[in-house]
Amino acid sequence: MNDNKTNNPLLCDIETGMCETPNNQTEQQTIKNTPLQGEKIKVVYFTDPICSSCWGIEPQLRKLKLEYGLAIEIDYRMGGLLPDWNYNSGGISKPADVAHHWDEVSVHYDMPIDGDVWLEDPLSSSYPSSIAFKAAQIQDKNKNEDKAIAFLRVVREMVFLEKKNIAKWEHLEAAAKQVGLDPIQLKADYEGKARILFEEDLQLARSYGVRGFPTLFFERAETREFVYGTKPYPFYETAILTLNPQVQKLHYAKTWDYLFSAYPTLTAKEFAELSGMPRAESEQHLTQLTAGGILLQTTTKNGSMWALKK
C-alpha cells in the first residue's frame, strides 16, 4: 500500500479493500466482551455512509444476514471518514479529485457508484449523514434497528447512485420519510443526543484500534476475530464458524421474489451473491424481469440497481 492511499480517507485501497482515516493513530486497548443472550456472536461493524469499500461489502453482508441472522447481532458504528476538507494528502485537496477514484472503485467491486457527485454537488463532510444515522438508531431502538439500517442503505444509494449530497438535510429528511422514520424527531435527535452517540462511536473506534473501514469485529464470550477491508464472503463466514463451529446455517429461498422481499433494492452483484447465479446470468435475469414489468431498473454510468415495481 502506498502512502497516498494510506493518508487519504477517500482514496480507498483496492488491494486491501480499506478506506483509511487521515490520522490512523489509535488507542489500542484490550476490551472485555459482554456475552450476548443465547451466546449470539456480536459483530461490531465500523463503517461510514460515504465509504466506497463499505458499499463494496453490501453483497457479502446481506448474505451473512440471510444465512447467519439468527446467530449474529450486528452493532453498526460510525467511523467519521471525512471530517472536512482541511487537509491535503495523497494528491487530494478538493472534492473533484475523488470523482475518478470512485469510478475506479465501482468497477473493481462491481457495485454501481457514480463519482460525478464530487463534481456536481460535492459533500463537505460525512459527519452529517453519520450523525443522522445515530439519530435513526435512537428512534428505532429496541426494534432490531430495521428502519435505521434501511435509512443507511437509502442514504448510500442516494450518494453512490443518485449523486445526491447527503451532507444536506433535505436528503437526510427524504431518506427518513422513505423508510418510515419521523423526520421531526430525527431532526431533534440529530441536533441533540445523536451527536453525543456519534462521538462515542469515534471513541470506540479508537479504543478498538480501527484504522479504516470497513472493519468488522466478531466477538463471542472472551474471543474475538476480525476482518479488515472488503473481502470475499468466506472470510466473514469463517470468522463466525471459528467462534462457533456448531452454528447452523439457514437455507433460504434463492428466488427473485424472496430476495426482493428481504431486500427492497438489489444490484446485479448482490443478486448474484444471494441467488448463487453466475454474475452474467443474474443481470440477464434481472433485465428480463424488468422487461416483464416486474422490476424497476435504476441505471447509472457504472451499473444498475433494481427494485420491485409498485
Instruction: Write down the pTM of the prediction.
Output: 0.90
Residue 17: its pLDDT value, please?
Answer: 74
Of residues 78, 105, 152, the one with CA closest to residue 10: 105
Triad 209, 2, 216: Cα angle to 5°: 30
Residue 20: its pLDDT value, please?
Answer: 77
User: In this model, does residue 142 exceed pLDDT 60?
Assistant: no
Residues 81-100 have a mean pLDDT of 77
> Mean pLDDT across the chain, nearest whole number?
90
Count the alpha carbons within 13 Å of 308 in the hemisphere toward its beta carbon: 10
Given pLDDT bands bounded at 50, 70 and 90, which one contains residue 187?
very high
Percentage of the chain lying above the pLDDT 90 cut: 79
**pLDDT: which is higher, 269 or 95:** 269
What domains sit in the chain, N to C, each tagged with a CATH number?
Answer: 38-212 (3.40.30.10), 256-308 (1.10.10.10)
294-310 pLDDT, tens per residue? Answer: 999 999 999 999 999 98
Strand order in the sheet with 41-47: 72-78, 41-47, 215-220, 223-228
Q: Which of 29-38, 86-95, 222-231, 279-288 has the lowest mean pLDDT?
A: 29-38
User: In this model, does residue 3 exceed pLDDT 90?
Assistant: no
Residues 114-143 have a mean pLDDT of 93
Residue 26: its pLDDT value, please?
Answer: 38
User: In this model, does residue 157 exceed pLDDT 70?
Assistant: yes
User: In this model, does residue 291 exceed pLDDT 70?
Assistant: yes
User: Which residues have a Cβ under 8 Å from the Cβ of 154 and sit 6 or more positions away?
Assistant: 175, 178, 179
User: In this model, does residue 185 exceed pLDDT 50?
Assistant: yes
Percentage of the chain lying above the pLDDT 70 cut: 88
168-178 pLDDT, tens per residue? Answer: 999 999 999 99
Rounded Cα–Cα distance for residues 143 and 256 (Å): 27
Residue 4: its pLDDT value, please?
Answer: 42
